[in-house]
Structure 1
Amino acid sequence: MSKQALIVVDIQNDYFPTGKWPLVGIDAAADNAARIIQATRDAGDLVVHIRHEFTRNDAPFFLPNSEGAKLHPKVINRTDEPVVLKHFINSFRETELKAILDQHDIDELLIVGAMSHMCIDGITRAAVDFGYKATVIHDACASRDLEFNGITVPAAQVHAAFMAALGFGYATVVSTAAYLQSAA
């Protein structure tokens, strides 16, 4: 029988409107993530929180030991839920994440968080490379406008492009409502 864990990636204060690096739609994404967290807790499954900090004090956001680097109150961990500190885009890189998952015999990951085009993409691809089955809850993730070659790419298009790519070859990509309905 498969064992699933929820991975809550980088839903931290700096990504919210008063933070240093606000994302488009982060409040709605965090609300959906909170719904997924509650459903996962109710099912008795493992919830693992990922918290990103840069290692240098001149970083644009997530400064070491700052208020902005703390988990947002909407998705705060319980004392029995591990919080993995990372310093890279890929949540598996130089962290204890894989050891935690292995300790709990996890083979399926449910992924929510930020940013869609960076850390969600990174963890999803790495998870599949490690042999996990991955599901991304697309409306529990957020992104921001990007710029390429003088063109501004709106956050909604950035998010859609990354969700489409993950859904093409790496993960099942579903909405909060669809996931909760299927899990009921």
Structure 2
Amino acid sequence: MIDFQPTDGLIVVDIQRDFCPGGTLAVPQGDEIIDGVNRIIKKAEEAGSVIVYTRDWHPENHLSFKAYGGIWPSHCVQWTPGAEFHPNLYLSEKGIILDKGTHSEFEAYSGFQGTGLHQILKDHGVNRVFVVGLATDYCVKETAVDALRYRYETFVVADAVKGVNVNPDDSQKALQHIKDMGGKVILSQELLP
């Protein structure tokens, strides 16, 4: 059993309407992880851990959108319903919300990219991070890899993430890449009683 500590960070990646069923860039069954993620958030909250929620917060002319030469449909456009957190996601009052991908000319898969996340974690004395959310093969992977680059002990909770899987095994490859970089892939039962 792994116990959350005040020096831990929980990074909840992009659990937004557009990434869940019915959204413009839905992760298949992406909403199925929410109950487990909520239990993890509450456990981290009880321990006084730092809780960070990342969200894609794109301008309507973002370069990742097909209409502007990108590969994705328009998604998580600032101030639209699709950019909102999923209504079933538990938002801790102590949680910190960080927007990424806010500039039309820059892509930002990682929660660390252009958000100040590293400084926030450093300021709170965090040395270990846990990553949950969407999508395993893009934003979760890049966030975990950046956490490792910043030398945080990094855990990805495998049953609290879901992938887009453009190719059938993309999520498994992403988790393997995280392990190869020195990260740990665990199950939520290792965090929850």
* TM-score range for the pair, normalised by the shorter chain length: 0.7 to 0.9
Q: Deviations over 1:99-137 (max 9, x none)?
A: 211111111101001111111111111111111110000
Give 1:74's aligned amino acid: N
Q: Which of the two has greater helix per residue?
A: 1
- Aligned amino acid, residue 75 of structure 1: L
| Residue in structure 2 matched with residue 177 of structure 1 by the alignment | 189
1:167 maps to what in 2? 179
Which residue is 1:73 aligned to?
A: 87
Tell me the residue number matched to 1:7.
11
Asked if residue 61 in structure 1 is aligned to residue 75 in structure 2, the reply is yes
Structure 1 pair 2–76 and aligned structure 2 pair: CA distance change class (3 A): closer
Pick aligned residue for 2:24 from 20, 23, 44? 20
Farther-moved stretch of structure 1 (25-34 vs 119-128): 25-34
Q: How does 1:27-106 map to 2 (within 5 A)?
A: 27-57=31-61, 59=65, 60-87=74-101, 88-106=108-126
C-alpha distance in 2 between matches for 1:46 and 1:23: 26
Tell me if structure 1 keeps the 8 A contact 2:21–2:29: no
User: Secondary structure of 2:192's match?
Assistant: helix
Provide the residue aligned with 1:149 in structure 2: none
Which amino acid is the alignment partner of residue 164 of structure 1?
A: Q
Q: TM-score, normalised by structure 1?
A: 0.86
- Which 4+ runs in 1 deviate beyond 4 A? none
What stretches of structure 2 of length at least 5 have no aligned partner?
Answer: 66-73, 102-107
Where do 5+ consecutive residues of structure 1 fail to align? 147-152
Give 1:169 deviation, angstroms. 2.5
Tell me how far apart the structure 2 counterparts of residues 126 and 111 of structure 1 sit (CA, whole Å).
Answer: 11
| Residue aligned with 1:75, SS | coil
* Alignment partner of 1:136 is 2:156: yes
Distance 1:167 1:28 in 2: 24
SS at match of 2:122: helix
The DSSP-based 3-state class of the residue aligned with 2:190 is: helix
Q: Aligned with 1:140: secondary structure?
A: strand
Alignment pair present for 1:108 and 2:122: no
Separation in 2, partners of 1:119, 1:35: 21
Taking the aligned partners of 1:124 and 1:145, their CA distance within structure 2 comes to 18
The offset of 1:39, in angstroms, is: 1.0
Identity of aligned residues (%): 24
Count how many residue pairs are aligned between Structure 1 and Structure 2: 173
1:3-35: CA deviations, max 9, x gaps? 111000101011111111111231222222111
Is contact 2:148–2:181 with CA below 8 Å preserved after alignment?
Answer: no
Structure 1 Cα separation of the partners of residues 100 and 88 of structure 2: 20
